Amino acid sequence: MSGRAWGVLFVLCGAIFLEGIDVAMLNVALPSIRADLDMSTGMLQWVMSAYVLGYGGFMLLGGRAADLFGRRQMFVFWLVVFLLFSGLGGFATEGWMLIVARFVTGIAAAFMTPAGLSIITTSFDEGPQRNKALLVYSGTAAGGFSIGLVVGGLLASVSWRWVFFAPVILSLLILITAVVLIPKSPRPERSGQGVDLGGAISVTAGILLLVFAVERATHVAAAVTAGTVAAGLVFFLAFFLIERRSSNPLIRLGLFRNGALIRGNVTGLLFAAGFFGFQFVAVLYLQELRGWSTLQTSFALIVIGIDSILSPTLTPKLVAKFGNARVIFGGLLLAALSYALFLPVSMDWTYLAMFPSLIILGLAFSLAYGPLTIIATEGIDEDEQGVAGGLLYTSFQFGAALGLSSVTAVSIGATHGTSPAAQLDGYRAALIVPLAAALIAAFISAFGLGNRSGIEDPAASADPVREPVDA
C-alpha cells in the first residue's frame, strides 16, 4: 500500500481505537462515578445502557447516511460530535447529565463507525489489500478495548473525569489528521433518492426497544420484557412492509439473500455475546469474589489483547492459506475451548491457572473478528458498503448486550445465598452462556466451509442479490 493509503488506514484505526478505549475506560471507572455523583445502582447502569442504546439503535441509519451523504463527511462531522459530548460527560455534576452525554456519544459512534469501515472497504481493492487493511483495523479495535482497561484504571485512580477528557485529546488529533489525509468523498448521486424516513424511524425504534429489553431484562418483570420485545417486533414488521414498498429503501431487502452476509452477522452476534459475557463474569469473579483491585483486574485481562498483535500479523497469513471461513471456524472452536477451560474456576485459582483460558481467548478473537468483518462486507456493491458495515456493527452491539444480560440473569438465578461459595456457583453457571454461544456460532459458520473464502461466488449470486425483492 502507498504511504497515503497507510495514512488513511492509520486515521480510521485511530477512530476505532478511540471507540474501544472509550468504552473500556468507562467500565472500570463506574465505581468512582457512583461514589462522586451519588448514583443508585439502577441509575449507574444507565451510564452504560445509554451508550449501548445510542450505538446499537442508530447504527443502521448511520451506515445508510454514509452511503447517501458521503463517507468522509459523515465520519468527520460525527467525530466532532463524539469529541464534544465525551468532553461534556467529564463536566457532569448530576447523573442525568452524564447519561444524556453518553447517549449522544453512542449516537455519534453509530454514525462514525460504519462510515469509517466503509471508507476502508471502498478505498482498498477487494482481495489481499483490503483484507490486510481490515485485519489491521480489527486488531486496533481489540487493542483499544484491552489497553483501555489499564488506562482507565490509571486515570480513574486520579479522577474519573479524566476518563472522559482523555478521549477528547485523542479524538482531536484524529480529527486533524482525518481532515488532512482522508480524501474528500465525491458527493453521491442522490437524484430521485430521498431519505427513507419511515424505514429509518421504524428500524431504529425496533432496535432501540430490543436492546432496551435485553439491557433491562434482569431488572424488570418478565411481562415488561415480553411487552417491550413485542413492541420492537411490531416496529420491525412495519419496517419490512415499508421497505417492500419504498422506491428508495433504507436497506434493500435483497441484501438478505446473501448467505455470507447473514452467516457473518449471526455468527458475529453470537461471538460478541460470548466474548463480552465471559469478560463480565471474569471481572466479577476477580473483583467481587477474589477482592482484586481494578488495576490488578485490568492487568490480568490485558493478555486477551494479544489479538491486537496477532490480527495484523498472523491472521492475514492464515486467511491467505486457508480462507476466511476456515479461520473463523477455528477461532470459534478456540473460543469454546477458552470458556470450557474456565468452567472449573475455584476460590483459590492462581493467575497461572486462568492464563490458558485468557490467552486462548485472545487468539480466538484475532482469528474470528477480522475475517467476520471481511465476509460481511465482501461482494457488496460500493453504494451499500455503509449499510453492510452498519448491519455488522449492529449485530456485534446487540450480541454484546444480549451476552451481558444473559450471563447476569443466569448468575442471579443460580446464586442461592450470599456466601462466596454461592456466588461462585452462580458464576460457573453463567459461564455456560458464552460456551453455548461459541458452539452455536461454530455450527452456523460451518455452513460456509464448503466455500474456501466463505463468500458466495459473485457470478452466481450477484443477480439474485441485486434483484428487487418483489421479483
Asked if 111 and 137 sit in the same domain, the reply is: yes
Asked if 244 and 277 sit in the same domain, the reply is: no
- Confidence at 470, pLDDT banded by 50, 70, 90: very low
Asked if 275 and 244 sit in the same domain, the reply is: no
Asked if 110 and 224 sit in the same domain, the reply is: no
Q: What are the residues whose beta carbons fall under 8 Å from the beta carbon of 70, sequence distance 6 or more?
A: 185, 186, 187, 188
Angle between helices 259-284 and 432-445 (to 10 degrees): 160
Note whether 55 and 106 are within 8 A (CB). yes
Q: Which of 193-202, 232-241, 243-252 has the lowest mean pLDDT?
A: 193-202
In a domain, 113, yes or no: yes
Domain count, the chain: 3
Task: Taking the CA atoms of 127, 124, 136 and 20 in sequence, report the sign of the dihedral they define.
Answer: negative
Give pLDDT, residue 49. Answer: 74
Asked if 328 and 428 sit in the same domain, the reply is: yes
In a domain, 459, yes or no: no
pLDDT in tens, 244-288: 888 777 788 888 888 888 999 999 999 999 998 898 888 888 888
In a domain, 469, yes or no: no
- Confidence at 459, pLDDT banded by 50, 70, 90: very low
pLDDT tops 90 at residue 429: yes
* Domain of residue 324, residue span: 258-449
- Who has greater pLDDT, 81 or 206? 81
Asked if 293 and 411 sit in the same domain, the reply is: yes
Number of CB atoms found within 10 A of residue 193's CB:
13
Mean pLDDT of 16-37: 82
In a domain, 457, yes or no: no
Asked if 40 and 166 sit in the same domain, the reply is: yes
Name the residue with cell 482469528: 367
Note whether 327 and 371 are within 8 A (CB). yes
Could you give the CA distance from residue 15 to residue 48 in angstroms, rounded to a whole number? 20
pLDDT in tens, 53-75: 788 778 888 888 888 888 899 99
Asked if 171 and 266 sit in the same domain, the reply is: no
Percent of the chain with pLDDT over 90: 28
In a domain, 283, yes or no: yes
Mean pLDDT of 116-128: 84
CATH value at residue 5 = 1.20.1250.20
Asked if 91 and 35 sit in the same domain, the reply is: yes
Mean pLDDT of 117-133: 83
In a domain, 35, yes or no: yes
Asked if 57 and 179 sit in the same domain, the reply is: yes
In a domain, 467, yes or no: no
pLDDT in tens, 142-162: 778 778 877 887 887 788 899
Asked if 121 and 223 sit in the same domain, the reply is: no
Could you give the CA distance from residue 239 to residue 319 in angstroms, rounded to a whole number? 37
Asked if 318 and 421 sit in the same domain, the reply is: yes
Give pLDDT, residue 193. Answer: 57
In a domain, 466, yes or no: no
